């Protein structure tokens, strides 16, 4: 992921190109301007920026000569930066930043599109998994809870995170959402691979523990802390 272009949530159900943004802090650092100067310029042209898209921000604590201070960090989406960056002139630093920022926005759009395609491709296989679990010889042990258990196992394995840590990727997580919409493209590709293994093992009549062990042994991931691994 780019360190020039940010987003607040990985959630595919609400992701769009308009969700990507850079910040006044990044702009100041990469163009050789002071943060206060960049912030003042945003405030000067805020009416124009608001006409392009809603002007959003967050507050961040920073060190100053007077102790801890709170700074207002503005978010500018791609269309807003097209208006704003030229206001900084054409110094070598600004020109280089405009080039790198444009590439970063394109890369983020490509990543989003690829994730959307990968998610769409997974859905038919996801239905097959759902059917396999529902007809599984061990289904009665946990009933419909198996669907959540298996999908959490898969998502946790490909990310190296617990269920709660994956949910934290979304700034507005609700129980009706799915972990799959919070996976990166690389994680989704690994998820589909492991999902196929689970389907095959369920259809072969395997119990959960052999399935879990096979999945854990099939892919190298970051180790989940022992005290948090009980989420699935």
Q: Quick: pLDDT tens for 11-47.
A: 887 777 778 999 999 999 999 999 999 999 999 999 9
- CATH fit for domain 17-110, picks 3.30.1370, 1.10.287, 3.10.180, 3.40.50: 3.30.1370
The yes-or-no verdict on residue 67 having pLDDT over 60 is: no
CA 31 to chain CA mean position, Å: 27
C-alpha distance from residue 37 to each of 29, 80, 99, 184 (Å): 12, 17, 22, 36
Q: Looking at the DSSP assignment, which residues form a beta bridge with residue 58? A: 73
The yes-or-no verdict on residue 225 having pLDDT over 60 is: no
User: Do the strands 67-77 and 56-64 form a parallel or antiparallel pair, or are they unpaired?
Assistant: antiparallel
Q: What is the mean pLDDT of residues 46-65?
A: 88
* Residues found in the chain: 232
> Quick one: pLDDT at residue 69?
72
On average, the pLDDT of the chain sits at: 89
The yes-or-no verdict on residue 78 having pLDDT over 70 is: yes
Q: How confident is the model at residue 1 (pLDDT cuts 50, 70, 90)?
A: very low
Q: Quick: pLDDT tens for 176-206.
A: 788 999 999 999 999 999 999 999 999 999 9
The yes-or-no verdict on residue 229 having pLDDT over 70 is: no
Per domain, the residue ranges of the chain are: 17-110, 135-231
Which of the 8 DSSP states describes residue 150?
A: H
> Quick one: pLDDT at residue 54?
94
In a 3-state reduction of DSSP, which class is residue 76? Answer: strand
């Amino acid at each position: 992921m780019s360190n020039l272009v940010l987003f607040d949530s990985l959630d595919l159900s609400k992701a769009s190109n308009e969700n990507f943004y850079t910040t006044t802090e990044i702009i100041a650092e990469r163009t050789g301007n002071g943060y206060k100067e960049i912030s003042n310029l945003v405030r000067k042209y805020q009416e124009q920026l608001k006409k392009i898209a809603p002007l959003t921000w967050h507050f961040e604590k920073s060190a100053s000569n007077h102790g801890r201070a709170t700074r207002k960090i503005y978010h500018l989406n791609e269309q807003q930066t097209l208006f704003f960056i030229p206001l900084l002139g054409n110094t070598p630093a600004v020109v280089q930043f405009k080039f790198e920022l444009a590439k970063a926005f394109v890369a983020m759009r490509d990543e989003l599109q690829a994730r959307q395609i990968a998610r769409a491709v997974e859905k038919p296989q996801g239905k097959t998994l759902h059917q396999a679990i529902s007809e599984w010889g061990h289904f009665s042990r946990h009933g419909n809870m198996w669907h959540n258990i298996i999908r959490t196992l898969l998502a946790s394995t490909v990310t190296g995170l617990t269920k709660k840590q994956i949910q934290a990727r979304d700034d507005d997580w609700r129980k009706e959402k799915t972990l799959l919409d919070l996976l990166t493209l690389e994680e989704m590709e690994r998820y589909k691979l492991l999902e196929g293994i689970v389907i095959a093992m369920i259809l072969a009549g395997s119990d959960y523990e052999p399935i879990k062990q096979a999945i854990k042994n099939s892919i190298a991931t970051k180790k989940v802390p022992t005290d948090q691994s009980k989420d699935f």
